[in-house]
Every structure is written in C-alpha cells, then in structure tokens.
Amino acid sequence: MDYEVIVVGGGHAGCEAAFASANKGHKTLLVTGSIDKIAMMPCNPHIGGSAKGIVVREIDALGGVMGKVADKTLLQMKMLNFSKGPAVRSLRAQADKVAYPKLMQEELQKHKNIDIVEDLVEDLIIEDNTIKAVKLSNGDIINAKAVILTTGTYMKANILVGDTRTVSGPAGTRPSLFLSDNLEKLGFKILRLKTGTPPRIQRDTIDFSKTKMEPGDDKYYTFSFDDKPYYKLDEQEPCYLTYTTGETHKIIMDNLDKSSMYGAIQEKLGTGPRYCPSIEDKVVRFKDKERHQLFLEPESRYFDDIYVQGFSTSMPHDVQEKMVHSLPGLENAKILRYAYAIEYDAIDPRDLYPSLETKIIENLYTAGQINGTSGYEEAACQGLMAGINASLKIENKEPLILGRDEAYIGVLIDDLVTKGVRDPYRLLTSRAEYRLLLRSDNADLRLRKHGYEVGLINKRQYNKLVKKEENINKIIEELKELTIKADKKMTLFDYVKRVENSIFEIEDKLSTKYDYLELEQAEIIIKYEGYIKKARKEAEKMHKLEDKKIPENINYDDVPNLASEARIKLKEVRPLSLGQALRISGVNPSDISILSVYMKRYFNDNR
C-alpha cells in the first residue's frame, strides 16, 4: 500500500505531523514502535509552562491537536507569571499521563486518513536525492511522497543508571538501532544527546503534611481557542512543594563518582540539557545553596505515581533510595521507578531548511527530539510544521515559514536551522526578541489566518476570529470617543492607558457587552501601545535584512575577505537571507557587510 505521507514515530511530534497531513486530506501512515505508547509522556507530567504554554496555544491557533487533548485530560491548570506583564504569561497544565495518550490514540485511530502500523523503520529508500519509501524491520517497503522522521530519543537509545548502560528506549521500549547509521551514510551529521528524568514515588508513602500544597488557579483557562474548559476548578489535583536537605547534599557529594554523569561511565557521553540540570549538577555547581526546591506532582488520576520535579539524577538505585529518603515527607517513600538518563542520536538541525525539510534528501522532513530539541511542546510544534510543510510540498505549494516576530514556533525553528544545538534545545522566553508581540493572549490573532490558509482551521473558526478582531477594534474606537472625569476630563482610551486603571472598571460605559477576552485584548493593546510599536519597528528592521535573500548557489570561497570562522559557519548553515546569516554565532556585522557588498556585485554581474 502506498501513502502520501509517512510519519515515523508516534510521540508528540509524530501525532501532530500525522494529524496535520491527514486533516489536509493526505493519506497518512504512522509507524510506531508500540501503539499503546503513542503520545506517551515519559518525563514530566506537564503540558505548557513558560514560553511552552504559548507554543501550545500557537499549535491550537494553527489547527494542531495538543492544546485540545490537554484541555480535555488535565489535572490542574495554572497561568504562570500572572503577576508579571502580559507578554510573559503562559499556561501550564498538569497533564494526566494515562488520559492524554489514550485520547490521542483514539483520535488517531478514528481518523479516516490515518493508518497506524506497529514496527520500526530501519532504512530510507532514496532515488535522485529524493525520499521514495521506508523499509521496516520486518522487511516491508512502503512508498510515500513525503516522509517525516519523529524518532524522539529512540535512535540508538541507551538508558544510564549509575554505572550501568543498557540498550533500550524510554520505559523499556525498543530502540531504533539502525536508522541513525543509515542517516549518517546519507550525509547527515549525527549528534549524541542526553536527557534525564527523576524518580517516581508511590503516592500513599509520602507524608504530605511535611510539604506545602500548590493548588491550581481558581480561574478557568484553556489552551484551545475553540474549546470550553472540561475540568472543574475544585476538582483539580494539587502539587506539593518540598526541599532537598543538607543530608541530601552530603549523600550526593559522597557518591559523585557513582553518578554516570560524573564519571562512573567513562566512555564519551551525550550532551545533557543546560536548562534542566540533574540534582547532582545543581548541588555541585551551586555549593552555597542550602536547599533546592522539589515539586511533587501527580502523574495521573488512574495510577499512584508522584513525579519529583527537580530531582533528576543518574545515581545508582541504592544511592537514589538514600537521596529520596532524606527529603522531608519522603522519609518512608517507596520508589516505583528510579531516575534514569537516556542517551540518543539526533541530527544536526542545520541540515534542515526552515520548512523542516532536510537539505540532503528532498521530501524528507524531521521534527522533535531528532532535531536536538527537548520538551513535548517543542516536539509537537515541529511535528505540526513538518506535517503542514510536507503536505504543502506534495501539493506543490510554498512552505509555511513563521517569522521570529510571528510565533515562538518561528523562533524555535529559526534557532535550530540557523544556530544548531549543543545541548537539547528548550524554548525560553529569552530566545524571542519580540516577545511582547508573541503573547499567550493573542496567539489566535497572530496565527489563525495561517491555519485557515493551509486548511487546518475551518470557516467557522476563522469567522470567529474575524469577529473577535472587529470587536477589539470597535472597543478601541469607542474608548477614544467616550470621556470620563478622573483627576481631569479625559477619553476612556487615555484612562485605560494608565497602568493603575482597568478596562473592566468602565466596561459598562460601552454601547454593547463585549467578551472578556476581547476587552482584555483591547486593554493590552492600549496599555502597552508604545512598547508594542517599538517591538514592531525592531521587527521591521529585521525584515529588511530578512528580505535580502542570499543566492542559493553562492560560493562562500569566492567571497573575499570573509573572516575564516564566518566562512566556515556560512558554509555549514547556508543561510537563506542576510538576516538569518547575522544570527549565526561567529558571523559578525562586518562579515555581513562584506557579504552584502559581494551580493550587490553578484546580482549586478548576473543582471
């Protein structure tokens, strides 16, 4: 049987990719090592978080599935950074590790354009540098017009605990042993990365009275712009806060040599994420910190596991026991699953175009941890974009490439293909230069039209957006005309502009009743007008450089006077524009002006 699109891997990237392609009407095959592990959450039990929560909303705005599935299965919802400015607010749900994958699996199986097969892909069949088919480990060859690799941490996966190294995928699954070698043969540069996960504790062995309760918000939120909340505020599951002790730190320091990260395993290790250090890393690096926070988080309503956020480690089991029992409230805790680290192969994402198509093989796309990222949301959004762009490619349409001023997704993909990765890439708010434009509250206003254009957002959803836009404009216009007498007579617009005033104090002066979200949007636009304009201006500057396209066939060896580091980096990345070139580390403004001069000459000569 032939397919239009084959998605290899059923994690968060794979699910989005399969839905995007299938919802765009393409016959899609999802190949997964095990069907009941589809959309599994092998690490933390969150969907969202700082910056990541905004990505989930962006996925929803574009027509992806993560937000809706999370909304329907969550245990707790929080708006992070609520006390800070609107630009940095972000939703985080405690996801149910049983309910979330189950719902995702059901939706996939229901979809008329999606078939699922349980097997591993061993090799890719290439003709004329174009993907033609995949070869399964059972020897079957399945043809497709486009293939999306979302192999997660499975390529040559090794589980590390203390001084032991086991060939295995997460939670005892089968690793993919041959694919990365075959990718390397095709010319891909292979990276070795590593990530870790903390121990899981049996809930009823924890004395929560020694910890601090961390409930969900008492206000309803949803990731999705379409769905109403499915949870009840008072039925949210709380998390709990505890701390490491002096005793914990002593155990760690005494046993450092047994940690696989600190030398128990001498062979070359993958690079772990800087932003998510292991507890031994934290204790060693921040010696003067007396204690570190640990969050005890429920993983599901359907089983007993408590996840110890902040306690990932690669110590052997006996040391982990001692460490866990040194924590307040966990003196008698029973460990259900020990912490482990996983090491895996990834490709260098600089081998990708911003569409996530590989530069080496046409119609081959990669998304998620295979591209060196970390996190469910980072994976999901790449899966969505790869699914959209693979579909657009076989429809002979231009790819959808989101700008850095348009979406965190745009920031993430541009970072990956331009800068590459050293350690597993996590999205951070600081990675976005124009984050005042990239808010949680306006993801639909930013991206729904793209979703509509590519066909993942329907007419009804789109009309809802248009109506919202109109209403926001109406509110602003009306506020400019109405006046109020505060300390002096002023327009309501100027009144709302003042930081201390709220639009909800004066909403009854408006001619019609507007939706809460519309009023909130108008208020943000009014209050931060000056800064929003500033951000737009900066973004325009970037667009000017972005518009200066570098000819595809440029030979950097012919460009005189480039600094040698810049020459090497430019040859590696082959940026599409001067804007992208400037973001490459090691390429300096002076190299850009040399390049710019050369390009002027190049174009003149070719005119």
Partner 1 sequence: MNDTICAISTAVGVGAISIVRVSGEDAISIVNKIFDRDLTKMDSHTINYGHIVDGNEIIDEVMVSIMKAPKTFTKEDIVEINCHGGISSTNKVLELLLTNGARLAEPGEFTKRAFLNGRINLVEAESVMDMIDAKTENARKLAMNGIEGKISNLIHEIVDKLYDINSNIEVNIDYPEYEDIEVMTESQIQEVSKFIDEKLKKLLIESENGKIIKEGINTLILGRPNVGKSSILNKLINEDKAIVTDIAGTTRDIVEGQIRVGGVLLNIIDTAGIRETEDVVEKIGVEKSLNLIKDANLIILVLNNNEPLTEEDKKLLEITKDKKRIIVVNKIDLETKLDTTGLDVVKVSATKDIDILKDKISDLYNLEELNNKELTYLSNSRQISLVKKAISINNHLMESFNSGIPIDILEIDIKEICETLNEIIGESYDDKLIDRLFANFCLGK
Sole residue written with tokens 């909130």: 520
Member of 34, 35, 42, 81 binding partner 1 (CB under 8 A):
81
- Among 19, 295, 344, 408, indicate the residue that binds partner 1 (CB under 8 A): 295
Please, which residue, 215 or 263, has the CB nearer to partner 1? 215
**CA distance linking residue 244 with residue 252, whole number of Å:** 11
Q: Are 562 and 556 in contact (CB under 8 A)?
A: yes
Q: Please, which residue, 270 or 272, has the CB nearer to partner 1?
A: 272
When asked if residue 274 is in the footprint of partner 1 (CB under 8 A), the reply is no
Residue 499 binds partner 1, judged by CB under 8 A: yes
Q: Could you tell me the smallest distance in angstroms from the CB atom of residue 240 to partner 1?
A: 13
Nearest alpha-carbon partner for 363 in 385, 382, 391: 391
Stretch that binds partner 1, among 187-195, 288-296, 393-401, 406-414 (CB under 8 A): 288-296
Which of these, 381, 377, 71, 90, lies nearest to 227 by C-alpha position?
A: 71
Q: Which of 173, 483, 491, 596 binds partner 1 (CB under 8 A)?
A: 596
Stretch that binds partner 1, among 111-119, 183-191, 347-355, 596-604 (CB under 8 A): 596-604
Number of residues that bind partner 1 (CB under 8 A): 43
Quickly count: other Cβ atoms within 10 Å of residue 77's Cβ. 25
- What is 349-410 written as a DSSP string? GGGB-TTSBBSSSBTEEE-GGGGTB-SHHHHHHHHHHHHHHHHHHHTT-------TTT-HHH
Query: Which of 85/238 has CB closer to partner 1?
Result: 85
Q: Which of 166, 332, 473, 590 binds partner 1 (CB under 8 A)?
A: 590
Q: Does 603 bind partner 1 (CB under 8 A)?
A: no
SS (H, E, C) 260-283: HHHCCCCCCCCECCCCCCCHHHHH
Shortest approach of partner 1 to residue 555 CB, angstroms? 15
- When asked if residue 531 is in the footprint of partner 1 (CB under 8 A), the reply is yes
CB count, 10 Å around CB of 500?
A: 4
The stretch among 19-27, 58-66, 205-213, 559-567 that binds partner 1 (CB under 8 A) is: 559-567
Q: What is the DSSP string of 6-24?
A: EEE--SHHHHHHHHHHHHT
User: Minimum distance from CB of 496 to partner 1 (Å)?
Assistant: 13
Q: Is 87 near partner 1 (CB under 8 A)? A: yes
How big, in percent rounded to 5, are the helix, strand and coil portions of the chain?
A: 40, 20, 40
Q: Which residue has the tokens 């809706």?
A: 68
Rounded Cα distance between 1 and 298, Å, is 43
Please report whether residue 51 would count as binding partner 1 according to CB under 8 A. Answer: yes
CA 236 to chain CA centroid, nearest Å: 25
Shortest distance in whole angstroms from residue 50 CB to partner 1: 5
Closest Cα partner for 339 from 359, 360, 357, 313?
Answer: 313
Q: Taking the C-alpha atoms of 43, 44, 46 and 49 in order, what is their torsion angle to the nearest 10 degrees?
A: -110
Asked if 557 touches partner 1 (CB under 8 A), the answer is: no
**Residue 183 exposed, middle or buried by CB count within 10 Å (0-12, 13-18, 19+):** buried
Q: Indicate the residue among 143 and 588 with the shorter CB distance to partner 1.
A: 588
When asked if residue 585 is in the footprint of partner 1 (CB under 8 A), the reply is: no
What tokens were used for 98?
Answer: 């049983």
Kindly tell me which of 257 and 500 has the beta carbon lying closer to partner 1.
Answer: 500
Give the nearer residue to partner 1 in terms of CB position, either 510 or 594. 594
Query: How far is the first Cα of the chain from the last one, in angstroms, to the nearest whole number?
Result: 49
Q: Is 313 in the site for partner 1 (CB under 8 A)?
A: no
**In the complex, least distance from residue 583 CB atom to partner 1, rounded to whole angstroms:** 11
CB closer to partner 1, 109 vs 593: 593
What is the number of residues in the chain?
607
Tokens at residue 376, please?
Answer: 């469910």
Tokens of residue 283, six digits? 């204790």
Q: Of residues 425-454, which lie at the interface with partner 1 (CB under 8 A)? A: 428-430, 433, 436
- Specify the stretch interacting with partner 1 by CB under 8 A; choose among 27-35, 191-199, 424-432, 438-446: 424-432
Asked if 219 touches partner 1 (CB under 8 A), the answer is: no
Q: Which is nearer to partner 1, 340 or 434 (CB)?
A: 434
Sign of the alpha-carbon dihedral angle for 494, 499, 500, 503: positive
Q: Are residues 464 and 444 in contact, defined by beta-carbon separation less than 8 angstroms?
A: no
Binding region for partner 1 (CB under 8 A): 50-51, 80-81, 84-85, 87-88, 275, 286, 289, 292-293, 295, 428-430, 433, 436, 498-500, 528, 531, 534-535, 538, 545, 560-561, 563, 582, 588-594, 596-598, 601
